[in-house]
Structure 1
């Protein structure tokens, strides 16, 4: 069992992203990255895997869901 919180990159931006590192809170077990091309938008953050899968399944944006530190580069 891992004792420290998962770390993910965090940013919400229009066209570019200068991410910071976020320590994920309780229940947030996944690093998310979402990219839209039209209009250009990038989002990176911690979230629950179930929530990330819903976003991925919606196909509104290109989504990555991963569960290792800083994997949403």
Structure 2
């Protein structure tokens, strides 16, 4: 299993961590789900969702200024998750084991 973390708040900072974990074959991925829209909106109620088969990653997306403290956690397609940080300049963490986007 792989974890990819992108941070575009610092120029060209990219980290890659290789993690090995055993996951039962055939079980759907479970990810934390939460959207916090603004720093003054309080904490969101975080739940765990079972991902559909095409969503093979968990993601946490944190938005840059002027949207500090705004974030989104959910199931994601790994390729789309990886593209999101590069294309939009967001801080994105993509991972693929249960609950990894805490």
Give TM-score scaled by structure 2 length: 0.64
Greater strand proportion: 1
Unaligned runs of 5+ in 2: 1-23
Q: Please name the residue that 1:26 is paired with.
A: 53
Alignment check: 8 A CA contact 1:11 1:45 kept: yes
Give TM-score scaled by structure 1 length: 0.87
How large is the Cα RMSD of the aligned pairs?
A: 1.5
Alignment check: 8 A CA contact 1:56 1:63 kept: yes
The aligned length equals: 73
Larger Rg: 2
Which structure 1 residue ranges, 4+ long, deviate > 6 Å from structure 2? none
| 1:28-62 alpha-carbon deviations (Å, 9 max, x no partner) | 10001001242131100001111101112125221
Instruction: Pick which of 47-56 and 13-22 moved more.
Output: 13-22
- Tell me if 1:4 matches 2:31: no
